[in-house]
Structure 1
Amino acid sequence: MSRSTLRRALRAGALCLTATTAAAVIPAAADAKVGVSTKRLNIQTGSRVTVKGHVDAPGVAKLQVQRRGRWVTLDRDRTNRSGRFVLRKRIRGAMSSRARLRLSTGETRLLGRMNVYRSALASWYGPGLFGNKLGCGGTLQAGSVGVANKSLPCGTKVTFRHNGRVLRVPVIDRGPYVGGREYDLTAATAHKLGFSGHGPIQVTK
């Protein structure tokens, strides 16, 4: 090997070493830190869902919900100089979905379940009927947690809110067959919600 060839090889090796060393000492970008100060996800139909917070990196924050297996954006806001954002959306129909924040950096933060309730008439049943067969299979027991409905597919999850309590239960039976009533809660479900007699209850699915 000639001296000129050797010098070129040494220079190339030094450049590669310098690039490798530089890459090793440059730290990877840290994930943006997200803080949520206000989260209003349980609302009545016609009201606004609200999420407020801040992020330590400038950009855009999006409020998204999961619908039919994909994430749909309800609102977006560009952070101000202090990194704060406000996300609001008026929801006119009852719904229950997982919610998350998504940043323009690609990072996400789960917020929990967003429930938008409407009012429905309900009753409850159980004593004197324990041991009877359920419309969706099985038998009604004192501890059976679920609800009866005339048309929803068996197993459909329904979320109820009453007296400040929230409970998500499956459809396990058919009924009620009293005019105007949409849901019939099992005794165990009614007890967990503090529901008695018959009347309006907040519901979504």
Structure 2
Amino acid sequence: MPRSTLRCALLSASALCLTAAAAPAVADAAPKQVGVSAKRLNVQVGSRATVKGRVAQAPATVKLQVQRGHRWLTIDRDRTDARGRFTLRKRLKQAASARVRVTTSTGFKRTVGRLNVYRNAHASWYGPGLFGNPLGCGGTLQYGSVGVANKHLPCGTKVTLRHRGRVLRVPVIDRGPYVGGREYDLTAATARKLRFTGHGPIQATR
């Protein structure tokens, strides 16, 4: 008699046994069932995002999905080889930032991080002499305010910025900049975190 069946018989509580038998949570099992050996999720527009790994239960179809609102959109899929290995890759043509996961036809899901597709933008920063002034999206500008000013994106929109190897995700909290050719004005606190000085190119996901 299988050990689980014997245990249920001894306990004489089949409902509880069924619950216990179903207890291994997919969330707990997913890292064991879907291994990720390499990933490239911070890329420039026109480059390929890549996730490589291995599935314990093979053969299986594996999908790479990005989150769009409350939905998950499949951007690539692969069939595992005899050893369960897979490679998912997608060339991205537009700047974006979204959660990304791997799913399998055997029913497992694993979140693997955030996909950031960057484009080059021109930015500046502001703050000294303006602290205490009202922000275009509400509140006041403080020394420690983290965010950016933009003329077109809705207030609260999250933007992921990358500069000198540092990555920061911040909200739109103000309007501007009003100097031609510049898309973003970083607050002083944002500029410090990214080690951004003066004005010039920065990588952004919007």
Q: Mark yes or no: TM-score above 0.5.
A: yes
Tell me which residue corresponds to 2:3.
none
Q: How does 1:119-158 map to 2 (within 5 A)?
A: 119-158=120-159
Deviation of the 1:107 alpha carbon:
1.0
Are the counterparts in 1 of residues 150 and 177 from structure 2 also a CA contact under 8 Å? Answer: yes
Tell me which residue corresponds to 1:106.
107
SS of 1:190's equivalent in the other structure is: helix
Q: Which runs of 4+ in 1 moved over 3 A?
A: none
Deviation of the 1:60 alpha carbon:
0.8
Normalised to the residue count of structure 2, the TM-score between the two structures is 0.85
Return the letter of the residue paired with 1:202: Q
Equivalent-residue separation in structure 1 for 2:107 and 2:54 (angstroms) = 16
Structure ID, larger Rg: 1
Equivalent-residue separation in structure 2 for 1:153 and 1:78 (angstroms) = 41
Tell me which residue corresponds to 1:10.
none
Equivalent-residue separation in structure 2 for 1:136 and 1:89 (angstroms) = 36
Return the letter of the residue paired with 2:98: S
Return the letter of the residue paired with 1:70: R
SS of 2:133's equivalent in the other structure is: coil
Equivalent-residue separation in structure 2 for 1:204 and 1:33 (angstroms) = 32
Equivalent-residue separation in structure 2 for 1:66 and 1:106 (angstroms) = 18
Return the letter of the residue paired with 2:52: K
Equivalent-residue separation in structure 2 for 1:198 and 1:148 (angstroms) = 14
Task: Give the number of equivalent residue pairs.
Answer: 186
Equivalent-residue separation in structure 2 for 1:33 and 1:182 (angstroms) = 44
Normalised to the residue count of structure 1, the TM-score between the two structures is 0.85
Deviations 1:51-96 (CA, angstroms, capped at 9, x unpaired):
0000111111110001132101111111101110000100010010
RMSD: 2.2
Equivalent-residue separation in structure 1 for 2:114 and 2:74 (angstroms) = 15
Counterpart check, 1:55 vs 2:51:
no
Are the counterparts in 1 of residues 34 and 108 from structure 2 also a CA contact under 8 Å? Answer: no
Deviation of the 1:130 alpha carbon:
0.6
Tell me which residue corresponds to 2:68.
67
Deviations 1:164-199 (CA, angstroms, capped at 9, x unpaired):
000000111000000000000000000000100000
Tell me which residue corresponds to 1:164.
165
Equivalent-residue separation in structure 2 for 1:38 and 1:46 (angstroms) = 20
Unaligned runs of 5+ in 2: 1-7
Return the letter of the residue paired with 2:95: A
Are the counterparts in 1 of residues 33 and 108 from structure 2 also a CA contact under 8 Å? Answer: no
Counterpart check, 1:173 vs 2:195:
no
Return the letter of the residue paired with 1:133: P
Are the counterparts in 1 of residues 43 and 117 from structure 2 also a CA contact under 8 Å? Answer: yes
Tell me which residue corresponds to 1:187.
188
Equivalent-residue separation in structure 2 for 1:45 and 1:126 (angstroms) = 31
Unaligned runs of 5+ in 1: 1-19
